[in-house]
Amino acid sequence: MLNIRNFSIIAHIDHGKSTLSDRLIQHTNIVSERDFKDQILDSMDIERERGITIKSQSVCLPYKARDGKLYSLNLIDTPGHVDFTYEVSRALASCEGAFLLVDASQGVEAQTLANLYLALEHDLEIIPVINKIDLPSADIEWVKSQIEKDLGLDPESAILTSAKEGKGIEDVLERAVTLLPPPEGDPEAPFKALIFDSHYDAYRGTVVHVRVFDGRIKAGDTILFMSNNAAYKVEEVGVFQIIREPRKNLSAGEVGYIIAGIKTVSDTSCGDTVTLKQNPCEKPMAGFKEAKPVVFSSIYPVASDGYPELTLALEKLKLNDASLIYEKDSSVALGFGFRCGFLGLLHLEVVQERLEREYDLSLIITAPSVQYEIGLSDGNVIMIDNPAMYPDPAGIEFTREPFIRASIIVPDRYMGTVMTLCMDRRGLNKTYQYLTNNRLEMIFELPLAEIVYDFYDKLKSVTQGYGSFDYDLLDHRETDLVKLDILINGDRVDALSQLVHKDRAVERARLACDRLRDEIPRQMFKIAIQGAIGSKIISRKTISAYRKDVTAKCYGGDISRKRKLLEKQKKGKKRMKMVGQVMIPQSAFLSVLKTDD
Amino acid sequence: MCNEAATERKGGIYIHTPFCVQKCLYCDFYSTTNLSLTHDFLSALKTEIKIRKSAFQEFDTIYIGGGTPSVMPPEQTEDLFETIYKNFSIVPDAEITIEVNPGTVDLPALKRYRKIGINRLSIGVQSFSEKNLRFLGRIHSAPDALKTVQEARNADFKNISLDLIYGLPGQTLKSWEADLVKALEFAPEHLSCYMLTYEPDTPLTSALNKKHFSPLEEKKTGELFMATRAFLARNEYLQYEISSYSLRGIFPSMHNRKYWSFHPYTGFGPSAHSFSGSIRSWNHRSVTLYIEDLKKDQLPVENKEVLNREQKIIEAIYLGLRQTDGIDLKNFQTNFNRRFEEMFEDVVALLKNKKYLEIDQGRCFLSPQGMLFLDSIAGMFSGTDFYLK
Ligand SMILES: Nc1nc2c(ncn2[C@@H]2O[C@H](COP(=O)(O)OP(=O)(O)OP(=O)(O)O)[C@@H](O)[C@H]2O)c(=O)[nH]1
Ligand code: SF4
Ligand SMILES: [Mg+2]
Query: Is any atom of ligand 1 closer than 6 Å to the C-beta of A53?
Result: yes
Query: Where, residue-wise, is CATH 2.40.30.10 in chain A?
Result: 192-276
DSSP annotation of B131 reads H
Q: Are B385 and A562 an interchain contact pair (Cβ–Cβ within 8 Å)?
A: no
Mutate to test the pocket of ligand 2, among B20, B63, B71, B196 (most ligand atoms within 8 A of CB): B20
Query: Where, residue-wise, is CATH 3.30.70.870 in chain A?
Result: 295-366
Q: Are A554 and B379 an interchain contact pair (Cβ–Cβ within 8 Å)?
A: no
pTM above 0.90, yes or no: no
A572 pLDDT band, cuts 50/70/90, is low
For residue B202, give every residue at least 6 positions away whose Cβ sits within 8 Å of its Cβ, in sequence order, or none.
B25, B26, B27, B28
Question: Among partner residues A557, A570, A578, which is closest to B382 by beta-carbon distance?
Answer: A570
Mutate to test the pocket of ligand 2, among B16, B17, B19, B24 (most ligand atoms within 8 A of CB): B24
Determine whether B163 is exposed, middle or buried from the number of CB atoms within 10 Å of its CB (0-12, 13-18, 19+).
buried
Q: What is the pLDDT of residue B8?
A: 58
Report how far residue A586's alpha carbon sits from residue A364's, in angstroms, rounded to the nearest whole number.
5
Residue B373 to residues B239, B320, B334, Cα–Cα distance (Å): 16, 14, 27
Q: Minimum-distance ligand to the CA of B28? A: 2
Query: Where, residue-wise, is CATH 3.30.70.240 in chain A?
Result: 373-479
Return the amino acid letter for A397.
E
Fold classification of A192-276 (topology level): Elongation Factor Tu (Ef-tu); domain 3 (2.40.30)
Q: Please, are residues A115 and A163 in contact by the beta-carbon 8 Å criterion?
A: no
DSSP annotation of B258 reads H
3-state secondary structure of B312: helix
Query: Is any atom of ligand 1 closer than 6 Å to the C-beta of A168?
Result: no
Look at domain A4-179 and name its CATH class. alpha beta
Residue B77 to residues A262, B46, B47, B70, B84, Cα–Cα distance (Å): 71, 11, 15, 9, 10
What pLDDT, in 10s, does the model give residues A149-166? 889 999 999 999 999 999
Fold classification of A373-479 (topology level): Alpha-Beta Plaits (3.30.70)
A132 pLDDT band, cuts 50/70/90, is very high
> B336 C-alpha to center of ligand 2: Å?
38
Q: Please, are residues A171 and A216 in contact by the beta-carbon 8 Å criterion?
A: no
Fold classification of A483-593 (topology level): Alpha-Beta Plaits (3.30.70)
Question: Among partner residues A551, A557, A562, which is closest to B271 by beta-carbon distance?
Answer: A557
Q: Are B383 and A570 an interchain contact pair (Cβ–Cβ within 8 Å)?
A: yes
| Preferred mutation among A300, A302, A488, A551 to probe B, highest tally of B CBs within 10 A | A551
Q: What is the pLDDT of residue A567?
A: 82
Beta bridge pairs of residue A243: A241
Query: Where, residue-wise, is CATH 3.40.50.300 in chain A?
Result: 4-179
In this prediction, residues A264-291 reach a mean pLDDT of: 92
Query: Where, residue-wise, is CATH 3.30.70.2570 in chain A?
Result: 483-593
Q: Please, are residues A477 and A410 in contact by the beta-carbon 8 Å criterion?
A: no
Report how far residue A478's alpha carbon sits from residue A399's, in angstroms, rounded to the nearest whole number.
6
B198 inside 8 A of chain A by CB: yes
What pLDDT, in 10s, does the model give residues A451-498? 887 788 888 889 887 888 888 889 999 999 999 999 999 999 999 999
Q: Are A554 and B280 an interchain contact pair (Cβ–Cβ within 8 Å)?
A: no
Query: Is any atom of ligand 2 closer than 6 Å to the C-beta of B101?
Result: yes
What pLDDT, in 10s, does the model give residues B232-263? 999 999 999 999 999 999 999 999 999 999 89
What share of chain A in percent tops pLDDT 90? 73
Determine whether B75 is exposed, middle or buried from the number of CB atoms within 10 Å of its CB (0-12, 13-18, 19+).
exposed
Nearest CA to B183 out of B129, B130, B108, B140 is that of B129
Nearest CA to A335 out of A303, A357, A290 is that of A303
For residue A128, give every residue at least 6 positions away whose Cβ sits within 8 Å of its Cβ, in sequence order, or none.
A99, A100, A102, A147, A151, A153, A154, A155, A157, A158, A159
Q: What is the pLDDT of residue A573?
A: 52
What pLDDT, in 10s, does the model give residues B269-293? 999 999 998 899 999 999 999 999 9
**CATH code for residues A295-366:** 3.30.70.870
ipTM of the complex in this document? 0.89
Q: Minimum-distance ligand to the CA of A81? A: 1
